[in-house]
Amino acid sequence: MSPLLSVQGVTKRFGGLVAVADVTFDIAPGELVGLIGPNGSGKTTLLNIMSGHLSSEQGTIRLDGEPCTGLKPQRLARRGLMRMFQLTRIFARMNVLDNLLVGGRALGLDAEEANARANALLEELQIAHVRHLDAGQLSGGQMKLLEFGCCFMRTPRLALLDEPFAAIHPTMKEIMSRFIRARHAEGQTFVLVSHDMPVIVELCPRSICMNAGRVLSDGATSQVLAAPAVIEAYLGGAAA
């Protein structure tokens, strides 16, 4: 099976700092892959490159076999690559329903389709009761759920989720986890960045661990978490 996403030799520098160094991996259709590593390991920078928010100095990225290196985020979104950010990005002065509708219309849905899809997502994510509130009035967890929902106004070919569970109530974490499990069972593809190791173990059959911009380990999540180099990266010393 051909990879849905192929990352080959991607490198990104900020001045003298190499944030991403010769990163290579493939994501197959239908995979749910954890992207893990200590703070500063290059995970978010890599997602920014994959989603078109940053350029890379070296390397290539292909989506469905077609080159997409250097494409703008809006073009990648039209091709089915959706991105959730670590720091929530919503329209704070627009109501919750309209946040979803804007995303749906931008992705090509007509008004009826967008409205039906938005209302279904609000119900599934359990924020339908706040649909007419300005998004800026929501709790931090509700804002996360709203941005999460925006990624699914059209079924994505690949969803890149950057720390979706950070600093939210366990109930909201379970809502998102249940949503991801259900969509993965239907064959949707995810790359999930998270420091929540129990959730990574639960959701992700495969994980890629980065440190200092490089891939340390790539394989079954249980094997990656047991790798001495990974343990050393997280603990900051030699593995026992």
- The sheet that has 32-36: what strands, in order across it? 81-84, 158-162, 190-193, 32-36, 206-211, 214-220
Q: What are phi and psi of 211, to 5 degrees?
A: -155, 135
Task: Kindly report which listed range (70-74, 113-117, 140-144) carries the lowest average pLDDT score.
Answer: 70-74
The ranges assigned to domains in the chain are 1-80+156-240, 90-154
pLDDT at 69: 86
pLDDT at 184: 97
Q: Is the pLDDT of residue 205 over 80?
A: yes
- Per-residue confidence at 87, pLDDT binned at 50, 70, 90? confident
Q: Is the pLDDT of residue 113 over 80?
A: yes
Task: In whole angstroms, give the CA distance from residue 168 to residue 96.
Answer: 18
pLDDT per position as a tens digit, 34-86: 999 999 999 999 999 999 999 999 999 999 999 998 899 999 999 999 999 98
CA separation, residue 139 to residues 111, 135, 160, 167, 223 (Å):
28, 9, 23, 11, 37
- Per-residue confidence at 238, pLDDT binned at 50, 70, 90? very low
Pick the CATH number of 1-80+156-240 from 3.40.50.300, 3.20.20.140, 3.90.1150.10, 3.30.70.20: 3.40.50.300
For the chain, give the percent of residues with pLDDT over 90. Answer: 89
CB 25 within 8 A of CB 46: no
Task: In whole angstroms, give the CA distance from residue 132 to residue 207.
Answer: 38
pLDDT at 235: 75
Alpha helices, H only, 186-227: 197-203, 221-226
Average pLDDT over residues 17-38: 96
Task: In whole angstroms, give the CA distance from residue 31 to residue 159.
Answer: 11
Q: What are phi and psi of 91, to 5 degrees?
A: -90, 100
Q: Is the pLDDT of residue 1 over 80?
A: no
